[in-house]
Structure 1
């Protein structure tokens, strides 16, 4: 998911904050895949998404309706030329609040755990896809890709500051985006993971 945790971006109307109800509506593997597909690929029909994701159109139709009930997707009538319903994502991303992991309702805690694990799984799949298809890309994109990690010794306050600064840096490049008009512009995925580890 785009921007699953972005404490610096609370005023961005294109990033939706998840609450207990909307989280329960989103925390399903296929719903998260459908929402990702609409955000990255643009408006589509249930049948198109079913073919893309290897699902039945009945399943994609049902879960798209559930996403619509919770305000994550909406009709895209400007794309429809026949009887089939077109859908589009409402927001660019979602923001996850850690307090959902400690909610008094076990169903909310379970949904929060599922959501975060699905985000992690999606990141792993994207990296694996890049490693498997990297040779299909021009050499300039091979040089421009990155898969790095570091180990630092930080306090929680310094770690939170680092997260905020990384998010700010990424947002500054969103503002510089050349758009679809640049001949060599592509969508790129940026993952950030910061977490403590025990060095036993």
Structure 2
């Protein structure tokens, strides 16, 4: 397990904290912010673990949104009306996708820098952004 976590750290998917000299006591977590999906080669030994990690992350993200749909009525109207879900199918080149991904990272980093810690009158807000080619539309 430790070897897999270290491999995921090499490609920027995980971070550890604690004393590196005591590897069993390290605390591992997903990187704050996001990951570059092209950061690893699917031919490497760790590709299966990296793919599994990504799928677990996506399942967890979907669960958060499903929980919101279930529990939204428990929240005040101003919070319900402020919540947003946006998706769309765009026609882009690889360069366009790279630019969009860069813009999304910059936007998310800006908000993360401003609001990563609790302050009075705030609540945790889960934000998720994905930009990938539509997987069923590829032909050579």
TM-score by length of 2: 0.70
Shift of 1:168: 0.6
Hey, what's the Cα distance between the residues in 2 that align with 1:178 and 1:119? 19
> 1:192 aligns to what?
129
Residue number in structure 1 paired with 2:24: 69
Q: Compute the displacement of 1:70 (Å).
A: 7.8
Does residue 102 in structure 1 map to residue 86 in structure 2?
no
RMSD of aligned Cα (Å): 3.3
Q: Please, which runs of 5 or more residues in structure 2 have no aligned partner?
A: 16-22
Say whether the 8 Å CA contact 1:72–1:91 is kept in structure 2: no
CA positional deviation for 1:190: 0.8
Unaligned runs of 5+ in 1: 1-18, 26-31, 36-67, 74-88
Number of aligned residue pairs: 123
Q: Cα deviations across residues 34-56 of structure 1 (Å, max 9, x unaligned)?
A: x9xxxxxxxxxxxxxxxxxxxxx
Which aligned pairs between 1:48-63 and structure 2 lie closer than 5 A? none
Shift of 1:147: 1.1
Deviation, 1:101, is 4.1
Separation in structure 2 between the aligned mates of residue 180 and residue 102 of structure 1, nearest angstrom: 38
Report the TM-score when normalising by structure 1: 0.51
CA contact (8 A) 1:22 1:70 kept: no
Which of 158, 166, 173 is residue 96 of structure 2 equivalent to?
Answer: 158
